[in-house]
Structure 1
Amino acid sequence: MRMIASMEAMMGRTTEARPRKAANVTLPADLYEEGKALELNFSRVFEMAMREAIRVERGKRWAAENADFIASHNAFVEQHGLPLARHRMF
């Protein structure tokens, strides 16, 4: 629900002035028709979806690139506990 609300809020907002590139996107006809009927701004919806897809993909790649360190750190914590655990207030 929060994602939908933030998307709706962004629909009416103009994007900041930056260089733009045209891109052809093909959609199933029913999706196109419903988007048009709802007066969605296809460029803004696509831009938001691309930003989210890029964020997710970067996260996956970061996790893959750092998998060895993450596994090593997790093994250290399992063996020795959290480094500053004695200072925790909760």
Structure 2
Amino acid sequence: MKHESIRSGKRKAVNLSIDSGIVSAAREAEINLSQVCEAAIRTATEAEQARRWKEENRAAFAYWNKWVEDNGLPLVKYRLF
């Protein structure tokens, strides 16, 4: 999985259906709906990408955890704590 930014700097117009009460309250509070939606979608996308990365690499984590369990931590004799 690539760890590239999902930000392109470009804007694309899209249509969203949002509860009218939320829209009214946000406008009354002078909240920029586009910025809030973009931030929420970015956060959700990054969380899903992280979840998928962990799932895809679960076998490697299990392998290394087993290796450390069997062999101990490498270079442990050099630890200062």
TM range (shorter): 0.7 to 0.9
> How many residues of Structure 1 are paired with residues of Structure 2 in the alignment?
74
Counterpart Cα distance in 2 of 1:39 and 1:55: 27
Identity %: 36
Instruction: Quote how far apart the aligned CAs of 1:85 are.
Output: 2.0
RMSD: 1.7
Q: Which has the higher contact order (CA 8 A, sep 6+)?
A: 1
Gapped runs of 5+ residues in structure 1?
A: 1-16
Match of 1:65 in 2: 56
2:43 to 46, 49, 52: 52
Gapped runs of 5+ residues in structure 2?
A: 1-7
Instruction: For 2:45, give the aligned amino acid.
Output: I
Counterpart Cα distance in 2 of 1:36 and 1:80: 60
Q: Would you tell me which structure has more helix in proportion to its own residues?
A: 1
Deviations 1:63-87 (A, max 9, x none): 1111110111111122222212222
Instruction: For 2:74, give the aligned amino acid.
Output: P
Structure-1-length-normalised TM-score: 0.71
